Structure 1
Amino acid sequence: MKLYEKPAHILHNMLEKKEITAVELAKDLLARIDAVERDIGAYLTITRDEALAAAETVDQKIAAGEKIAFLEGIPGAIKDNICTKGIRTTCASKILEHFVPPYDATVMQKIYKESPVILGKLNMDEFAMGGSTEHSAYHPTHNPWDLARVPGGSSGGSAAAVASGTAIWALGSDTGGSIRQPASFCGVVGLKPTYGRVSRYGLIAYASSLDQIGTITRDVTDCAHILNVIARHDAMDSTSSKADVPDFTQSLRAKVEGLRIGLPKEYFVKGIDAEVERVVRAAIKKYEEMGAEVVDISLPHTDYAISTYYIIAPAEAATNLERYDGVSYGERVDGEDLVQMMTNTRDEKFGEEVKRRILIGNYALSAGYYDAYYLKALKVRTLIQQDYIEAFQKVDVIMAPTAPTPAFRIGEMAEDPLQMYLQDVCTVPLNLAGLPGISIPCGKSEGGLPIGLQIIGKPLDEATLIRTAYTYEQAQGGVNEMAKLGGND
C-alpha cells in the first residue's frame, strides 16, 4: 500500500518509529497531487512551500527525540469556507476571490496545535450551497471512482481529496448533508458532530442554525482522533456546547451486542435506488449477526424535512449573505451609484445557485409570507426534533442510507435543482434536529460505485456512533478493504 493510501494512525506510527520522515510523506502527497489533481480538481489553493516547511519542522522534532501529536506531520487539507490566517479562503465564490483571512477559525487554532502538514484549501459548492460541487465558481470536482460523476457536495473537494489520496484527512462542513453525502459518494468516512460540539467561529456562514464542521477520513479510527482535537467549548461561538467531551478513541471497540438499531420506514421508500437499499439492508443484517437488535420505528414528519430545510436554510443564507455588498465585504463591481454598484457586484460575483437560494430566503422572510412559510417551517422543525426524541427512547442509534443513489453523472441534474435538492432527503433531518451522524462505506453498486450507510445518534453521543461504525468496519476487514481507490492510478 502506497503512503498516500494509508490512514493517519498508521502513518503516525510510522513517523514515531522513524520508518518514514514527514518530508518524505509530504513529498509523496504532493507528488500524488501532481499526478491526479488535474483530473480530480479537489483543490482551490495548494500550499506547497508551507507544507514542506511544516514537515521539516516535524522531522527536526522527531530527530530530537520529542514526542509527536497524532496529526503532527500528517498531510491534510481544509474546506475553503473555514478561515485560515494568511491563506486565501474563497468559499468557492468570485465575491471572495482574493480574501485572505487575518485570523484562524477556532478549529484551525486547535488543528495547528497538533502541527500537521496543511496541503491547501479544498473545492466546494459556492458558499456550501449544493450537493455535487458543480456549483463552485472555479471548476467542478470529479469523483475519483468515476471521473464522469460528481463527488457529492458541498464538501466534494474534501471527500475527493481523501478518496484519491491527495490528502490523508480533511475538514468539511455539513449544513444539510454536506459531509455525509460526499463521503458516501466517494467511499470514505464522514462525520457530522452534534450541533455545537465543534466551534463554528471562523466558518463562513451559510445557515447558522444548521452549519457544523466535521471530519472526512479514510477510516473510523482517524475520525475519532481528529474529533478529539477539534471538539470543545469555544467562548467565541455562542452556540458552542459546554458539555464534557470524552476521549473518542476509547470508543474504538468492536462491540455491538445488545445495541438497539432503529430502522425508520420513512427512509426506505419509493425513490431510493434499489442497489442502495440492497447494500444498506445487507449492512444492517450484518449488525444483527453481530448481536445487535433491529427495531422498526417511524419518524412521521420526515416527509416534510426537505420542504422545511429549503425554507429555513435559504432564509438564514439570505440574512448571512446580505453583508456581501461590495462595501462591507467582498469584491466590488462599479456602478453609477451605490445601489447600482451593489446590484452589479451581487449579479456578477454570486453564482446562479447562490442567487436562487437568496431569492427563496428573501421571499420566505418577506412581509405577508413570514408566517405562512418561515414561521411554519420552524414549527415543523420542532416536530421533526420530537420524532427523534421519541425514537431514541426505544433505540440507541438509527440507521438509513446516506444518499438515495450512488454518485450521479456530472451535469445530470444541472437543469433540475429540485431533483438535486431531493438528494438530501436522508441527511437534512439530522441538521434540523441538531443530531450527530456518520457515513461509512458499506458496499458498492453493480457499477462499482461506493454506497454509504448512515448511522444517526443521540445528541452529544458521537461515542456510540464511533463504536458502532468501527465495529462494522473491522468486521468488513477495515475501510481500506471496503473503499479501495477507483481507477485513477
Structure 2
Amino acid sequence: MTDIIKLSAAELVAKMESGELTSVEITQAHIDHIIATDGQPLDAENRAAGKSGLNAFLHLNAEEALEVARGVDEDRAEGKELPALAGVPIAIKDLIVTKGQPTTAASRMLEGWMSPYDGTVTQKVREARMPILGKTNLDEFAMGSTTEHSAFGVTRNPWSLDRIPGGSGGGSAVAVAGYQAPLALGTDTGGSIRQPAAVTGSVGVKPTYGSISRYGVIAMASSLDQVGPCARTVMDTALLHEAVAGHDPLDSTSQNRPVGNFVDAAREGAAEGGLKGLRVGVIKELSGEGFQEGVLNRFNESLELLKNAGAEIVEVSLPSVKEAIGAYYLIMSSEVSSNLAKYDGVRFGLRVLPEEGPITIERVMSATRAAGFGDEAKRRIILGTYALSAGYYDAYYGSAQKVRTLIQRDYAKAFEVADVLVSPTAPTTAFKLGAESKGDPMALYKGDIATVPTNLAGVPSISLPAGLADEDSLPVGIQFTAPAHEDARLYRVGAGLEALLELQWGAPLHEQMPDTLELIRDFDFGA
C-alpha cells in the first residue's frame, strides 16, 4: 500500500495502462490510508475533540469511489478509450457541491446538507472517470488561513501535528501532502490553495480568474474566488488543471477561451534548457523585510538555480502591494456580507428558533446566524456590512476598488519587463495550532501579503516547494505569477525549478516528510 499511495497521478496512470495496477487497488489503498490517518470511521466525537489524526476529510465516499474504479478497470480491460486521468482518485474541498455527498462549507449552517446537483468542476471530474474519495476540511465558508475555523475540528499538518496546515483549503493540501489522495481540488480567494501548499510541501495553483467554472462553488467573495488544482508535483497539477478548465455558460464570470496546453508546458520546462531566456521578475516589495530568514534563504537559492539554468533574473516593483491587504479584506468582507446574507433561517441552511418570546423573522434570523456561524465568519460579515453601509461605502469599499485598479496596473507594468514574477508564497513556515486564537486577527491577516495581490489582479499563480527552513525544518513555498491567460508559463517555470531542486535534493521534498502514522501514534492529542 505504501508504494501505491506515494506514486504521482502521472505514475499511477502509467501503471494502470501497463497492467501493473488497477484503479480499484489504487483507490482502496488511499481509502485505507485515509482511515488510518484520519480515524475510523471519521468519528465525529474524536474529530470534535481534536483527536482524529490529520482530520483532512469531512466525508469519506468509499463505496461510490470503488464503484467508479471498477467501471474504469472494466473499460480499460476491454481496450476502451479513457480520459487522461481515468481511475486516479481525487479529493474535493467541501465548498464545492457534490451530488450524493454532504456539502457543508465546514459550517454548522450547512451541516448535513446534501446537494441535489453537481458543481461544474465536480461534473468534469466525473466525466474524467476519477473516483471521488470524499470532501475535505476547510475554514468555515473558506474564511481563514489555518483551517482552525472549521466547525468540525482542526486539520493538522502532516509534517508536524502541532502545526497549522494553512487555509482555508488545509484539508485538500493535507490530503495530497499526507498521501491520502494523489490529487485534490481547492478554491483560492486570497491564497487558500497556495498558502496551504507552501506550508505542507505540496503544489497548488490559482488559475486565471474565470478560466475554471465557479458554478456550484459556495460563494465567499465572488470577484476573487477561483477553483484550482492541488497535488505533489507540478505535472500532476497540470493534468488536473486541463481536466477541469474550460468555458461554462452556467457561470457568468466564465471566460470563453481555449484551455491551455499545460502538460506540454510542464514537459518543456523540465527538459534541458527549458528555462533558458525566461525573464523572472523578483518583486522588490515581497522579498525582504517581514519574511522569515529560512524562507528567504530557500527563496534566494531557488533564484540562483534559475539563473544558472539560463533564466534572466530582473527586479520589478509593485508599489501598490503595500495596500493590498487592506483593500483585499474590505472587498472580500463586503462580498462575504452579501453572499452570506441568504443564510438567515428562512431561505437557506440552518433554522434556529428563539428560546423565549415571539417568533419573528428578525429573531429567527438572529438566533440562526448566532448559532450557525463561527467567530471568524461573524467578524468578516460585520466588517463587510459596515463597509457597505450608507455613508461608508465610498470611503471603504469604493476606495478599496481603486486600490485594486492600481494593483492591476502595477502587474501590467511589471509584465512588460518580466515573463513571470516570483516571491516567497508565505512570509513564514507553518506556525503552531492555537497561535491565531491567541494573537491579533488583523496582524495575522498580514500573512497573506504575498498571495492576495494576485487575486485582486485576477492573474494566475503557482506555489511549489522550495525546501525546508533552517530554523524548524518545515516546508517553504516559492510562488510564480504570470499574466492573465498565460497559466502555461507557470507550468513551464514550475516544472523547471522543481526538476532543478529535486536534482539538488536527490529526491522530491515530500519524501523527506516524517511517517504520518508514527507521528499520530506518538502524538499527545490531549496536550
Q: What TM-score comes out, normalization by structure 1 length?
A: 0.98
Indicate yes or no: 2:316 matched with 1:282.
no
2:223 maps to 209
Alignment of 1:463-478 (within 5 A): 463-477=488-502
What displacement does 1:312 show?
Answer: 0.2
1: CA distance, partners of 2:83 / 2:375: 43
1:294-329 per-position Cα deviation (integer Å, ceiling 9, x unaligned)? 111110011000000010000000000000011110
2:474 maps to 449
What displacement does 1:59 show?
Answer: 1.4
2:403 maps to 380
Indicate yes or no: 2:432 matched with 1:406.
no
What displacement does 1:487 show?
Answer: 3.2
- Larger mean Cα displacement after TM superposition, 112-121 or 269-278: 269-278
1:399-431 per-position Cα deviation (integer Å, ceiling 9, x unaligned)? 000000000100012132112211100000000
1:296 maps to 315
Counting matched residue pairs gives: 489
1: CA distance, partners of 2:236 / 2:93: 17
What displacement does 1:271 show?
Answer: 1.4
Tell me, what secondary structure is at the counterpart of 1:464? helix
Q: What TM-score comes out, normalization by structure 2 length?
A: 0.91
Moved over 3 A (4+): none
Alignment of 1:105-120 (within 5 A): 105-120=119-134
Indicate yes or no: 2:63 matched with 1:49.
yes
1:198 maps to 212
Tell me, what secondary structure is at the counterpart of 1:191? strand
Tell me, what secondary structure is at the counterpart of 1:454? strand
- Larger mean Cα displacement after TM superposition, 183-192 or 412-421: 412-421
Structure 2 unmatched ranges of 5 or more: 39-51, 518-527
Task: Report if the CA contact (8 A) 1:75-1:119 is conserved.
Answer: yes
Tell me, what secondary structure is at the counterpart of 1:385? helix
Tell me, what secondary structure is at the counterpart of 2:255? coil
Amino acid aligned to 1:53: E
Alignment of 1:50-129 (within 5 A): 50-129=64-143
Structure 1 unmatched ranges of 5 or more: none
Amino acid aligned to 1:13: A
1: CA distance, partners of 2:288 / 2:22: 51
Amino acid aligned to 1:409: K
2: CA distance, partners of 1:296 / 1:307: 25
2:334 maps to 315
Tell me, what secondary structure is at the counterpart of 1:476? helix
1:486 maps to 514
Amino acid aligned to 1:422: K
Tell me, what secondary structure is at the counterpart of 2:437? coil
2: CA distance, partners of 1:21 / 1:73: 8
Tell me, what secondary structure is at the counterpart of 2:319? coil
Amino acid aligned to 1:266: E
What displacement does 1:346 show?
Answer: 0.1
Task: Report if the CA contact (8 A) 2:299-2:424 is conserved.
Answer: yes
Task: Report if the CA contact (8 A) 1:299-1:384 is conserved.
Answer: yes
Tell me, what secondary structure is at the counterpart of 1:284? helix
1:435 maps to 459
1:168-198 per-position Cα deviation (integer Å, ceiling 9, x unaligned)? 1000000000000000011011000000010
What displacement does 1:465 show?
Answer: 0.6
2: CA distance, partners of 1:131 / 1:151: 9
Task: Report if the CA contact (8 A) 1:413-1:419 is conserved.
Answer: no
Indicate yes or no: 2:244 matched with 1:230.
yes
Task: Report if the CA contact (8 A) 2:278-2:310 is conserved.
Answer: yes
2: CA distance, partners of 1:36 / 1:108: 25
Task: Report if the CA contact (8 A) 2:288-2:296 is conserved.
Answer: no
2: CA distance, partners of 1:241 / 1:268: 33
1:365-393 per-position Cα deviation (integer Å, ceiling 9, x unaligned)? 01111111010000010001100000000
- Larger mean Cα displacement after TM superposition, 60-69 or 92-101: 60-69
Task: Report if the CA contact (8 A) 1:450-1:483 is conserved.
Answer: no
What displacement does 1:440 show?
Answer: 0.5
2: CA distance, partners of 1:349 / 1:220: 38
1:161 maps to 175
Computed over aligned residues only, the root mean square deviation of the Cα atoms, in angstroms, reads 1.2
Tell me, what secondary structure is at the counterpart of 1:239? coil
Task: Report if the CA contact (8 A) 2:101-2:115 is conserved.
Answer: yes
Amino acid aligned to 1:96: L
1: CA distance, partners of 2:294 / 2:240: 32
Task: Report if the CA contact (8 A) 1:436-1:462 is conserved.
Answer: yes
